[in-house]
A = this chain, B = another copy of it.
Amino acid sequence: MSHHNKEKIPYGMVGGGQDAFIGYVHRIAARLDGNFELVAGALSSRPEIAKSSGLDLGLAPERTYTDFEEMARTEAARPDGIKAVVIVTPNHLHFAPAKAFLEAGIHVICDKPLTAQLDEAVELSKVTPKNGAKFLLTHNYTAYPLMRKARQMVADGELGKIRVVQVEYPQEWLTKDVENKQANWRTDPAKSGIGGCIGDIGTHAYNILRFVTGLTTQSLSADLTSFVSGRQLDDNVHIMLRFEGGARGMLWASQVAPGCENGLQLRVFGENGGLEWRQDNPNQMWYSPFGQPRQLLTRGSEAAAGEGVSVRIPAGHPEGYLEAFATLYDEFAGVIRGQSDGVLLPTLADGVEGMRFIAAAVASSENNGKWTKL
């Protein structure tokens, strides 16, 4: 973790105005390690909200935009223009600004899933960024220290060849038919794309599975359901997975599971050992070397140290969601400054993989669970 202050990287934000959730999270993450400073924004598509949100966030009036394309153009032209932009709009508004800013030579930090449609994702991956502008997809769970440790343990062969992976992400918040800003766009195909639960949290589960195991998916069989009357998109996801090399997996994501808040859980089993981790208590991970007692690895302890395992405070003092999110920003600052390759950071390619996953799952489910390639 960087202890050193550098000149702060000026950044802007697209989306994230008043009443938005994830924009607020990104701003804390950007601030936490002192690398970034918010100076511009197209915070809402509604001009009044955009202005009042900019005022709240202390932006100069002339850098409070109502149109992201104008923002990209104008900021690129300013000598003190933003060097990075954060895109925290609903899914259907990821593609256009991401493309615009990359082509304007401004680094892009974009929330997941990458886009609302697979073809947009593919097109975005073919964009040639001006001046080598970089792209970060905020699959934040990959920055939890123990997920980094897990990845290294698998890569180092500590578990042996991986056989079985069980990943799940149950939530309860859409158990009933709710009406609020967060719920509305996530259940609206025009804004979310073809996936509901699978796009919002299924992609997180799938991404963390691949991040840790490094497995290549061969095909999947999906059963997507929409339980709440009138809901247009899936709110429960059951998937079986087959990986190259013979490993098997199961993925469960749900928004209708009472008692589950954000129950992301990953379990990996290999020929020689197993791992188990839960997001709601992320400072602990079970490591089970076969034939020996289970060990509880704790974030910050010597036994949990490893490549990219960034911690800010000692073991026993809990770190959480915001710290992991901030680690993505801290490391991307290193990339922007040319000091790091950011090899562990989620990329455009990961975003395309996530979109292929959504597309394959929806297709499989529509084909009665037919095994479908990504």
Contacts and interface: CB of A to CB of B under 8 A. Distances in A.
Contact of A163 (B33, B171, B236): B236
A321 B313 contact: yes
Nearest to A22: B313
Interface string A331-369: 000000000000000000000000000000000000011
A27 to B, nearest CB: 8
B236 A260 contact: no
B221 A248 contact: no
A317 B313 contact: no
How often does this chain occur in the complex, in copies?
4
Contacts of A261: 298, 300-301, 314-317
A272 interface: yes
Contact of A320 (B34, B248, B302, B320): B320
Nearest to A176: B290
Interface of A: 3-7, 18, 21, 24-25, 27-28, 31-34, 38, 56-58, 159, 163-164, 166, 168, 171-172, 175-176, 221, 223, 225, 227, 236, 238, 240, 242, 246, 248-250, 252, 254, 256-263, 267, 269-276, 279-283, 286-298, 300-303, 312-323, 368-369, 371
Closest 5 CB pairs of A and B: A261-B316, A259-B288, A262-B316, A318-B320, A259-B274
21 contacts: A164-B227, A164-B254, A164-B257, A176-B290, A225-B246, A259-B275, A260-B288, A261-B300, A261-B316, A262-B314, A262-B315, A280-B316, A280-B318, A292-B303, A293-B296, A293-B298, A293-B301, A317-B320, A318-B321, A322-B322, A369-B369
